[in-house]
Amino acid sequence: MASTSARSSMSTDRSERARLTRVSLSYGQAPGSNVTALEQVDLCLEAGCLTALVGPNGSGKSSILAVLAGRVEPQVGEVSVAGLAAPALLRGRSRRALHAAVSFVSQDAELDPEMGVGETLQLLATLYGVRPSDRPARVARLLDDLDLASHRHKRVRDLSGGLRRRLHIAGALMHAPQVLLLDEPGAGLDDQGRQTLWTMLARLATSGTAILVITHDLAAVESHAHDVIVMEAGRVSQQGTPAELAEGHPHLAAALRSRIGEPPAPRPAGGNGRRGRA
């Protein structure tokens, strides 16, 4: 089973890297206009674990990433990331320590269109404190990993959306973070790009990185994720390995597929295939 093989490839180091404890978050300040984004969310990210965060639009997935990345401070609950409490309130050296431990890949590629591809990664290598002697090799490795080597001398503005996305992801992997947060990293990538991405995420998890990835790519979740968290209306509605969720909840896969906007896969006639079984 694909998810079993994914789990068997997990790092043996299962130490906790991030935790949300009964976190609630709402947006809006005017009375009566508050929008609840998260309600009583508990979540734990362990080293070497690739966790997929799925659910319909507006279910709170991006809010979880924003809280873990230290971009938003929840009104209720406790947040701990890489041993640092309340990341959104950190300032100065503590905040920089957070950034050294956590990488956040947002939905939008945050790049300077006037800079070159290699130049962008060189700059990020400096800002992440990669030793000068290690920078060329590190940049070359990331360019290779994300199939960007042939675009090294192009300007960012000349790249397609998918290539920009890959460059954005490459920048986030520059410093081998303890915790990697990705918001729909496969969006805009072609099949080969998505395959490269997920293979690389699985490899990073094997090397001990705790990964939380928002995705609508159910096939990739089944193949590569160790754990799945299903969000609904700001709450965690299901959590477990893809196999556990499938076994404990016969209709979960179909329900999951409909929640993340895909049509349910037809059950194979007379069989109980992987997709249908869940």
Partner 1 sequence: MSPGFLDTGWALARRTWRKTFRRPVLLSFSFAQPLMWMLFFGFLFDRYELVEFPDEVRYVDFLAPGVCVMTILFGASQSGIGWIRDHQVGFLSRMLQTPASPWAMLAGKVLADVTRLLVQALLVLVLALAVGARLAPNPQLLGLGLVALALFAIAFSCLSSAIAFLTRAQEAMAVFVHLVNMPMLFTSSALVPGKQMPEWLARVAAWNPLTLAVDAWRAALLGHGSIDFMDLGPLALLALALFVIAGRAMQR
| Cβ proximity of 21 and 77 under 8 Å | yes
Beta carbon nearer to partner 1, 115 or 255: 115
Tell the smallest beta-carbon distance from residue 113 to partner 1 (Å). Answer: 6
Name the minimum Å distance from CB 42 to partner 1: 26
Q: Which of 168, 219, 169 is nearest to 191 (CA)?
A: 219
203 vs 207: CA distance, rounded Å: 6
Smallest distance from partner 1 to CB 13, Å: 22
Using the minimum distance from each CB to partner 1, give the nearer residue, 129 or 268.
129
**For the chain, what is the total number of helices (H) and then of strands (E)?**
11, 10
- Which bin fits 22, alpha (ψ -120 to 50), beta or left (φ > 0)? left
CB of 123 to partner 1, least distance (A): 6
User: Which positions touch partner 1 (CB under 8 A)?
Assistant: 69, 91, 96-97, 99-100, 103-104, 106, 108-115, 119, 123-124, 126-132, 171, 175
Q: Which of 225, 209, 227, 213 is nearest to 101 (CA)?
A: 209
Rank residues 112 and 144 by Cβ distance to partner 1 and give the closer one. Answer: 112
Choose between 164 and 259: whose C-beta lies nearer to partner 1.
164
